[in-house]
Amino acid sequence: MMFAQDSPLVILDTSVFLSALLSKNPNSAPCQIIRYWREGRFKLVISPQLLEELVEKLLVKNIDRNDIKDILRAIFYTAIK
């Protein structure tokens, strides 16, 4: 993933990730936000506390474990911690 030198730094609420994973509409706002992050349009900033909250919420909502692994892997390799 390449970032422009002046890519904005963004902190996303865990509900954005959750809504994107649960959405049936790939053009929904949460899906677009996640897509923009994965395209490198902005740099994701995440704290250990937000990451922990995200994992807890994803598990409670019975999100597919492979989807959880994919999003956590992407966060681990690209986010500013």
How many whole angstroms separate alpha carbon 74 and alpha carbon 71? Answer: 5
pLDDT tens digits, residue range 58-77?
999 988 899 899 999 999 99
Burial letters 49-74, b for 16+ CB under 10 A, else e: ebbeebeeebeeeebeeeebeebeee
pTM of the predicted model, to two decimals? 0.85
User: CB within 8 A of 35, min separation 6: which ones?
Assistant: none
pLDDT tens digits, residue range 5-39?
688 999 999 999 999 999 999 999 999 999 999 99
Delimit the domains of the chain by residue range: 9-78
The amino acid sitting at 14 is: T
